[in-house]
């Protein structure tokens, strides 16, 4: 028996066995990326009946895979540039978490053959081909009874623009496009037809986490979330000496933030505002415009705000995060009235205690101004939500070691929990009257209920 026949006999049963196995995302390496790959669009289906084990779908015979029920909602996940050819690390989490939220078809669009190429420009041209391919597939879904409004496309980086191109082919009738850090290079400055734009779906939500490198700076959707301002993410390396994570950490953070919103690890409120600076300065804490729901929640559930957001055309919204999961922080509005004769400038540090835990916020992105009998309004952001605040510590500092220590004479300080404005009873504002803060000296007190007052 020849070597080859022997090998065929050995492998034969394996091949038959494999037919019942899972179909997996194309796994390539740097070598493929250097020679370049040509486009192949593989569709992997995950449902509640095949949660972990993906099944490849035929592009031309939708009934060939009985698990694929087109009358259910379908979520496409479209990845981006894959310069190393490896499968994305978040595949398992995103498919599992979506299926935990709803009974749907999750279609992982694997265009790794195409996306794995050191030549980014070539990959950009493939985004149009991938979009055409998906458009044809969605057309056959329609012929089989699917409705466009039950389709949600989640596009990561280049995948965001692919989703936009598909959406444009259907004149914006697709239900929703979510763009996770849409790619900037080769798309920035392009007209709407050459990139994602709000007319591509009934609702387009976007998150920007790396707009100064691989991401896109300008708003592209009905709502554009800019976590931590949208450029640099906390916990991501700031120097190239940290290896490859230096390149992808900010960009990838969009996916991890979104995952946390699908599984509701924490609800992140985002504050509509014209700029990140205005947000940090505390100019955008009012959510009355969104009554009774309050300001939009970031991520998967932002669709609940669709009817309010779409008529506004384009909304930019801001929040800050922790450096790891749980990413959500807790925001308080701090209103301070002072009575020093001379205007004081400085920073405020606040600690909230509840007997077992403590959390701290430092408001030092710039010096705050405290003028006699004038209310100074600040945004304080804590890394966690302390229930039943029992003690508050406050410190005032000027950062100026050369001048004599100053005092800040506080007539009233009031802390209002912002994330729960619609449940004022669970988070009553906390007040304290008539205290003197000596510079750099922490003052700790029990908060008392606030009086209705003119201040």
CB-based burial of residue 355 (10 Å sphere; 0-12 exposed, 13-18 middle, 19+ buried)? exposed
Is 23 known to sit in a ligand binding site?
no
Tokens in use for 127?
């985004």
3-state secondary structure of 110: strand
Segments in 264-328 forming alpha helices (H): 276-280, 306-309
Written as six digits, the tokens of 433 are 């009257």
In 3D, which of 227, 303, 309 has the Cα closest to residue 75? 303
> Is 157 one of the catalytic residues?
yes
Nearest CA to 269 out of 230, 297, 311 is that of 297
Element housing 2 (H / E): none
Is there a contact between 76 and 45 (Cβ–Cβ < 8 Å)?
no
In this structure, what DSSP letter does residue 269 have?
Answer: B
The catalytically annotated residue of 157, 254, 261, 302 is: 157
Question: Residue 152 Cβ, how far from ligand NAG at the closest point, in Å?
Answer: 16
CA distance 333 to 282: 8
Burial 427-442, CB ≥16 within 10 A → b, else e: beebbbeeeebebeee
Nearer to ligand NAG, 118 or 136 (CB): 136
Q: Is 283 a catalytic residue?
A: no
Whether omega for the bond prior to residue 376 falls within 30 degrees of 0, making it cis, is no
State the nearest-atom distance from the C-beta of 79 to ligand NAG, in Å: 15
Helices and strands: H and E segment counts in the chain: 9, 19
At closest approach, how far in Å is the CB of 313 from ligand NAG?
A: 4
Give the helix ranges, DSSP H, for 144-220: 158-169
- The residues that touch ligand NAG, with contacts defined as CB under 6 A, are 40-41, 59, 61, 63-64, 69, 71-72, 93, 133, 136, 256, 259-260, 263, 265, 312-313, 325, 354-357, 385-388
Omega into 326 within 30° of 0, i.e. cis?
A: yes
29 is in an annotated binding site: no
Helices (H), 119-169: 120-143, 158-169
Q: Binding site annotation covers 197?
A: yes
Catalytic status, residue 86: no
Spatial CA neighbour of 100 closest among 259, 334, 318, 319 = 259
Specify the 3-state DSSP secondary structure of 3. Answer: helix
**Local structure of residue 301 (DSSP, 8 states):** G
Beta bridge partners of 348: 363, 396
Residue 90 CB neighbours (<10 A): 18
Q: Which is nearer to ligand NAG, 34 or 312 (CB)?
A: 312
Q: How far is the CB of 208 from ligand NAG (least distance, A)?
A: 19
Whose tokens are 């029992």? That residue is 390
Q: Which of 181, 210, 250, 419 is catalytic?
A: 181
Spot the catalytic one: 79, 161, 222, 251: 251
Active site residues: 157, 181, 251
Which positions make up the binding site for Ca(2+)?
195, 197, 200
């Amino acid at each position: 028996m020849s070597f080859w026949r022997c090998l065929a006999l050995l492998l034969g049963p394996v091949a038959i066995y494999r037919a019942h196995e899972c179909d997996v995302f194309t796994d390539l390496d740097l070598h493929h990326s250097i020679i370049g790959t040509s486009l192949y669009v593989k569709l992997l289906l995950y449902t509640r009946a095949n949660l972990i084990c993906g099944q490849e779908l035929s592009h031309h015979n939708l009934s060939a895979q009985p698990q694929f029920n087109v009358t259910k909602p379908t979520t496409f996940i479209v990845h981006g540039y894959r310069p190393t050819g490896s499968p994305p690390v978040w595949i398992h989490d995103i498919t599992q978490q979506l299926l935990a939220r709803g009974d749907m078809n999750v279609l992982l669009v694997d265009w790794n053959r195409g996306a794995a190429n050191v030549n980014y420009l070539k990959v950009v041209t493939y985004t149009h081909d991938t979009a055409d391919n998906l458009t044809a597939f969605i057309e056959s879904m329609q012929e089989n009874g699917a409705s466009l409004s039950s389709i949600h496309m989640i596009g990561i980086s280049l995948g965001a623009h692919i989703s936009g191109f598909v959406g444009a082919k259907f004149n914006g009738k697709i239900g929703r496009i979510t763009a996770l850090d849409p790619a900037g290079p080769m798309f920035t400055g392009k007209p709407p037809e050459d990139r994602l734009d709000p007319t591509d779906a009934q609702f387009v939500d976007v998150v920007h986490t790396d707009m100064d490198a691989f991401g896109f700076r300008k708003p592209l959707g009905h709502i554009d979330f800019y976590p931590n301002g949208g450029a640099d993410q906390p916990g991501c390396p700031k120097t190239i000496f940290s290896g490859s994570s230096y390149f992808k950490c900010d960009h990838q953070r969009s996916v991890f933030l979104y995952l946390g919103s699908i599984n509701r690890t924490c609800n992140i409120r985002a504050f509509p505002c014209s700029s990140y600076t205005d947000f940090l300065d505390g100019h955008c804490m009012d959510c009355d415009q969104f009554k009774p729901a309050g300001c939009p929640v970031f991520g998967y559930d932002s669709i609940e705000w669709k009817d309010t957001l779409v008529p506004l055309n384009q909304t930019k919204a801001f929040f800050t995060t922790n450096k790891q999961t749980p990413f959500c922080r807790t925001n308080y509005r701090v209103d301070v009235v002072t009575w020093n004769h001379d205007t004081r400038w400085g920073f405020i540090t606040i600690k909230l205690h509840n007997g077992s835990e403590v959390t701290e916020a430092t408001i030092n992105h710039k010096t705050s101004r405290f003028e006699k009998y004038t209310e100074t309004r600040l945004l304080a952001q804590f890394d966690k939500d302390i229930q039943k605040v029992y003690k508050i510590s406050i410190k005032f500092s000027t950062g100026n070691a050369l001048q004599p220590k100053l005092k800040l004479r506080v007539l009233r300080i009031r802390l209002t929990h912002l994330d729960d404005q619609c449940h004022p009873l669970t988070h009553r504002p906390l007040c304290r009257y008539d205290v003197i803060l000596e510079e750099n000296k922490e003052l700790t007190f029990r908060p008392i209920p606030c009086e209705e007052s003119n201040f």
